[in-house]
Structure 1
C-alpha cells in the first residue's frame, strides 16, 4: 500500500470526528475480557475523542454494551481468521478501519503475529506485561515471594499509558442498572426478595467449592426466606447439577441455559450480591458494581485477579497455615499432592456469614 493510501486510511477516525482510533485486543477468556470493561469505561470518560474498537470473540460482544463510541470486531480464529494467512487477512480488515494505535491486552501467539503485521505498516502496538517472573515467584513452593502483585486491571491501564493515554482507575464510575427484559421477569417471577447470584463452578476443579458444601450454604439460605437464589453455570453437566438443586429448594432458580448471554448479563447487573469462585462470573458481576464474594482454592488474590472494586475481606480463603504453598498456580491448573481438598477448610457457616454481612 502506498504512503498516501495509508494516510487516507489512518485519517478515517479524524473524518468521523475522533482524534484517534485505538484497537484493543483481548480474545479470551471470559473473565479476562470482563476485566477490560472498567478500564475501557474509564478510558472512554477521560478520552471521549478517541474511538475504541475491541477485537474479541463474537460471543463476548454483549460484555461491552453500554460503552459509548466502542465497537466490537469479531475475531473468527477458528474460521476465516485461522492461522497466519487468516491473521494477515484480519490485520488488513482492521487497518481498513483507520486504526492509529493498538493496545494488546492479551499478548499471546495470535496477537504477536498481528503485532508484526501492524508494525510493518507503522502502527504502534503496546502489549501487556503479564508479570510472569513475579507470578512464578509467587507460586513456587520454595522461597515463595508472597506479596500482592499488580492487578490485571492495573496492567491493562499500563498499556494505555504507554500509548500516551494514562487511565486513572480511581475515576471509574459504574453504570446505572439496566431494565429487565420480559424473559428475565418471567424466570425470576419478579421476586421482591434480595437477589443472590451463586456461580458454583470454575474451569479447574481446584477452584471449585465442594458441591456438597455449597448445597449446605444454599439450604441454610433458602430456609431464611430472605433471598431469591439464582444459580449460574454453563454446559450440560453443570446445568443438570443446577437443575437438581433447583428442584429441591423453593427459593432457588437455575438460570443456566434459560437466558441469552445478553439477558444473563442484565440479570447479573441487577443482583444484590454474587457468590462465585475465582472465575469469570465474579468478574462479570464486579464490572457492574455488584458486591461479589469469592471463594479461593489453590489460587490467591495476590496474583492480581481480585474482582474489580471488591475489598479483600470479600475474598474467602482456605486455611493458609495448613496449606502454606498456596498459591500453587495462577490459574488453578497445578495442584501439589495433598492439596486436592484445600477448599474443604472453608466452612459453610463462614460463607453464609459473609453473605448475610452484605
Structure 2
C-alpha cells in the first residue's frame, strides 16, 4: 500500500475544494492510503473518504514558527515513510515542511497556484481576464504531475454516513412541512468586498415569503454574525432558524443536504453547499468566479453578479479585501434584493 501525504492548512474554502480531488484520487487508485494535514476544524470534511486519514495540525498554537514546523515534520515522519508529499498550499509553512521532506529523500510535488495570472486578472489597470482553471483542476493536475492521472468522480463529493445525516432533530419535521421550502442563507465572508449589504436580507426574505412558504436556516459563525441572525429571527420568528453556533461542521453539511436552495456569497459555505450537491444561488462582488474559485461544476445560473462590461474594475481582488477601487462597492450595491428574490423564485419554480 502506497502512502501519500497532502499538506493544506487553510483557508476553509480551499481545503473544501481538496475533497472532490482526494475522493476521485482514492477511487482511481485502490492501492494508496492518503493522509491530509490540515487545521483540526477542517478535518471532518475528509472523514467519510475511504483510505483517507486526517492529521490535525494546530498551526496557530501547537506548531508555530520554524521550530513548530520541525516538530510537525518529526511527528509526520513517525507515521511515514511517504511515497509522495503533495504541497497543495505553497505557503511559508508548507515550504519549510516540504524542504525537510526533500532533505530526507521524499518525492515532493507542489501544485501550481497561478499567482501571476491571478494578479493580472485582479489588478486595477490592464487586466487580463481570460478565465482561469478552477482550483479543483489545479489540485488534480498536481497529482497528474506526480504520476497519478485520474478523472473526477461524479458529485456529491461531501457524503456523510447515515448516522450523521440523521443525527440532527432538524430533519424530523421535514416531512410534516412538505409545502414549505427550506432555504439556507449564508451571508458572511472573510472580507467586506464579498459581503452583499446585510440590510438587503429582510427585503429578500419578505419578497420570497410573499410568493411561497419558506423556512430559512441561517448559517455562519461568530458573535457578530449570530447577533445579526437574531435580528432576522426577531423580524421573522416563524420563518427563520439560527444554525450559527448550534451545529458542528458535519451536522451543518447534513442539514445543507436537505435544503431546496442555499443563498450565499463567495465563501466556504458556498463551497460546502456546492460539494454537497445542493442547489445554490451565490452573490458575487469584488471577487470573480472566473479566477478559479466559483462553485465547482455549477452553471452561471447559480451566480448573480454585475457584469464586467458594466463594472470593468471587477474583480478587485482574488480572495477579497476591505477597500474598493471606486470607493462605493457598486459591485454589491447594484444587486437589488428584489432581483435576487426573482432569481430565487425561478430556481424554486414558483
Residue matched to 1:36: 18
1:131 aligns with 2:114: yes
Q: Report the CA distance between 1:41 and its aligned residue.
A: 1.2
Match of 1:215 in 2: 202
Secondary structure of 1:253 counterpart: strand
Given candidates 159, 172, 196, the residue that maps to 2:183 is 196
Number of the residue aligned with 1:22: 4
Which of the numbers 42, 48, 57 marks the counterpart of 1:60?
A: 42
In structure 2, the partner of 1:151 is 134
User: 99-108 vs 329-338, which deviates more?
Assistant: 329-338
Structure 2 Cα separation of the partners of residues 92 and 142 of structure 1:
46
- Match in the other structure for 1:3: none
Deviation, 1:276, is 0.7
Contact between 1:217 and 1:348, CA under 8 Å: does it hold in 2?
A: yes
1:1-358 matches, within 5 Å, as 18=1, 20-98=2-80, 99-169=82-152, 171-174=153-156, 178=162, 179-185=165-171, 191-192=177-178, 193-249=180-236, 250-333=238-321, 334-358=323-347
Unaligned runs of 5+ in 2: none
Query: Closer, same or farther in 2 for the Cα pair 1:86/1:189, shift >3 Å?
Result: farther
TM-score, normalised with respect to structure 1:
0.89
- Deviations along 1:36-85, one digit per CA (max 9) or x if unpaired, are 11111111211121111100011112111221111000112133322212
Structure 1 gap ranges (5+): 1-17
Q: Distance in 1 between matches of 2:62 and 2:221?
A: 27
Cα pair distance change 1:80/1:201, threshold 3 Å: closer
Q: Secondary structure at the match of 2:241?
A: strand
Give the deviation of 1:159 after TM superposition: 0.9
- Matched residue SS, 2:61: coil
So what's the TM-score if we normalise by structure 2? 0.91
- The alignment yields a C-alpha RMSD, in angstroms, of 1.9
Deviations 1:87-128 (A, max 9, x none): 112112112222221111111000000011100111111112
* Shift, 1:194, TM fit: 2.4
Taking a change above 3 Å as real, the CA distance of residues 22 and 190 of structure 1, as seen in their structure-2 partners, is farther
How many residues align? The count is 339
Question: Whole-Å Cα distance in 1 between the matches of residues 61 and 293 of structure 2?
Answer: 31
Instruction: Give the CA deviation at 1:322.
Output: 3.4
Q: Which moved more, 1:311-320 or 1:66-75?
A: 311-320
Relative to structure 1, the CA distance from residue 289 to residue 185 in structure 2 (aligned partners, 3 Å threshold; closer, same or farther) is closer
Instruction: Tell me the CA shift for residue 356 of structure 1.
Output: 2.0
Could you list the per-position Cα deviations for residues 168-208 of structure 1 after superposition, in whole angstroms to 9, with x for gaps in the alignment?
A: 22x33426675221443479797433221110111111111
Structure 1: distance between partners of 2:184 and 2:148: 36
